[in-house]
Structure 1
């Protein structure tokens, strides 16, 4: 299970107020009654048969106390804002790479990323040595996800996941699994399940891991005896690197290169081959696809199309490491934003080191 890759393609959430929020409880119920919301949504989750069956099921599977699970669910509240935010629009607008890119390739993330790298240089260097994942990629993911911890989300995770597990049929199975993982994570960490806060999709902390990903990939990278994604980024740095390594990151291999297409290239048919890099260099060359300087692709690749209305589409060769970034978020726009931010940070770091040597 990945941080967010089983969710619909998305952009990371905009910055939210830092104050933690809870669902509105009684007010929500009153509004639901006025609006004719189904009774199942109005009821406490502990009073609902589907939630009680869930409690019994995970209790039996994991030796949890079913009564304690039900008590926790009694404190969870349906949150209509969660449903609103996660529901895809009825009609999607035209995708724009330039608009998307501008959200993440800005001074806030570049300058903030340079400060973050300076502050945690030793930790990032250790993560890179241990996993082969470059420091700039780790920093870029944390920057795109949460602006280096500034925007970790203020939704109570128990209520968020209960809402999605029991009141959002399109992804109920996924979120029931995440709600189950939250109870197991809370037991492992000795915490109240209601003590977690995160995004409207249930993602947590600096790296925005879903609970199942925390359990599978999170590391106690500072050897403190506990994993902390909320107040210190050290564990997040190690965990992001570990996640990418576990999903097949190739140390020293390229991520992406700008592509050049011949006038005869059928770009659409190549793009539809999918995001996984399965197109051989020779096959791409035979179809008129090379790097901008005329070289063949460095390895098997995917052809990535970055569309902007009113502008020429950018085409890139995405290699295995590009695909690995999409395991974090199933979006070529997302992966390219991470890659370009990482490149900006790498070059900025190089300039800093050159200046330091000249002093």
Structure 2
């Protein structure tokens, strides 16, 4: 029997929201009822009460591996940046400030989150071949075949509905979580708050995601302390950030709720919808082999980034050509995959390669998805 959680506040337009399902699943459900404005303050106050009851006590080990995560007692409610955030949430979304203070008093800074988010030192030499080996391996491939076979109907239906190849949909879930085996055990609100208020280089982005996460929790009346995910706050089989959940997650199994943890069909449909909404072009190749005889001439092409901007004729002016047939007017980008001290690999990426990088803004990531697919 599913436990019901009282709805605390819902926006005036249909949206997606999140709730804890049982003891292990963070579920996203559609919210359609309207709540009148006078109820907002009272409902938001209840938010703090429910949150306080549902929040497990923070421990020294945090939500990561035992003995590896340092949890720091909260001083968030007294910080000026948090005070400004709370005031903005109250003004923009009708949250009760005292209720949010009660939530933030239970949020803990997680130093492991900061460690994992911090970029590698300049001396570290990135290598596509090493990166590739992490994702293209017999275990992941076998798991992918099993996942695809087990959910063949949903994968096929998503491909037909959204125009995205079946193998790409499956591959993204494989790269993200090994088909649901590794979805993350960080408490999402701790991860997002840590990055929003203790990681200045990306504070604006993570404050926006924290805002969206709190909206998810409020819309369904769920505890914001229930969700677990990656150190960056991504959740479920497809590792959607809160903004992506609210904008692009779909109820693909038709049960009236969006469950990115417990419903592979919802995860499959949501991945396909994300790619479609970001400009996927049905039938367009994922990549083209590149001929680069003179790498010293391609600097201007690489400086232009990975968004496809150049016709093949423009690439040829820089000594670059395609090994594969390509339309004369198809926009392309030159993709360089560095290999440490060894020569880089070169490819040409079109619109669909670029769309994959909207999921994770890395050429390494997009190429891993393509090769696993």
TM-score grouping bracket, smaller chain normalisation: 0.7 to 0.9
State the aligned residue count: 313
**Cα deviation per residue 1:136-190 (whole Å; 9 max; x = unaligned)?**
1111111001100111100000111111111111111111111111110112233
2:339 match: secondary structure: coil
- Could you tell me how far apart the structure 2 residues matched to 1:97 and 1:293 are? 22
Alpha-carbon distance, 1:64 to partner? 2.2
Q: 2:151 aligned with 1:120, yes or no? A: yes
Alignment of 1:189-200 (within 5 A): 189-200=220-231
Contact 1:101 1:337 in 2 (8 A): yes
Q: Which residue of 1 aligns with 2:44?
A: none
Match of 2:130 among 94, 99, 105: 99
Q: Which residue of 2 aligns with 1:86?
A: 117
- Could you tell me how far apart the structure 1 residues matched to 2:73 and 2:200 are? 16
- Could you tell me how far apart the structure 1 residues matched to 2:220 and 2:261 are? 13
Q: 1:139 to 1:293 in 2, by over 3 A?
A: closer
Q: 1:263 to 1:64 in 2, by over 3 A?
A: closer
Q: 1:257 to 1:297 in 2, by over 3 A?
A: farther
Contact 2:163 2:276 in 1 (8 A): yes
- Could you tell me how far apart the structure 2 residues matched to 1:275 and 1:73 are? 39
Q: TM-score if structure 1 supplies the norm length?
A: 0.81
- Could you tell me how far apart the structure 1 residues matched to 2:94 and 2:325 are? 60
Report which of the two has the higher share of strand: 2
Q: Which residue of 1 aligns with 2:366?
A: 335
Structure 1 unaligned residues grouped into runs of 5+: 1-17, 29-40, 343-359
Q: 2:321 aligned with 1:300, yes or no? A: no
- Could you tell me how far apart the structure 2 residues matched to 1:224 and 1:294 are? 44
Alignment of 1:205-216 (within 5 A): 205-216=236-247
**Cα deviation per residue 1:43-66 (whole Å; 9 max; x = unaligned)?**
432343432332232022112232
Report which of the two has the higher share of helix: 1
1:195 match: secondary structure: coil
Q: 1:196 to 1:42 in 2, by over 3 A?
A: closer
Q: Which residue of 2 aligns with 1:234?
A: 265
1:321 match: secondary structure: helix
Q: TM-score if structure 2 supplies the norm length?
A: 0.78
Q: 1:88 to 1:235 in 2, by over 3 A?
A: same
Query: Any runs of at least 4 consecutive aligned residues in structure 1 with deviations exceeding 6 A, and if so which?
Result: 294-298
CA RMSD of aligned residues (A): 2.6
Q: Which residue of 2 aligns with 1:349?
A: none
**Cα deviation per residue 1:48-90 (whole Å; 9 max; x = unaligned)?**
3432332232022112232222222111111111111111133
Alpha-carbon distance, 1:27 to partner? 8.9
Q: 1:47 to 1:131 in 2, by over 3 A?
A: same
Q: Which residue of 1 aligns with 2:281?
A: 250
- Could you tell me how far apart the structure 2 residues matched to 1:178 and 1:263 are? 43
**Cα deviation per residue 1:279-304 (whole Å; 9 max; x = unaligned)?**
11111233332222687778221111
Q: 2:314 aligned with 1:283, yes or no? A: yes
Contact 1:290 1:297 in 2 (8 A): no
Q: Which residue of 1 aligns with 2:49?
A: none
Q: 2:166 aligned with 1:151, yes or no? A: no
Q: Which residue of 1 aligns with 2:169?
A: 138
Contact 1:189 1:226 in 2 (8 A): no
Q: 1:296 to 1:211 in 2, by over 3 A?
A: closer
- Could you tell me how far apart the structure 1 residues matched to 2:110 and 2:160 are? 43
- Could you tell me how far apart the structure 1 residues matched to 2:275 and 2:370 are? 14
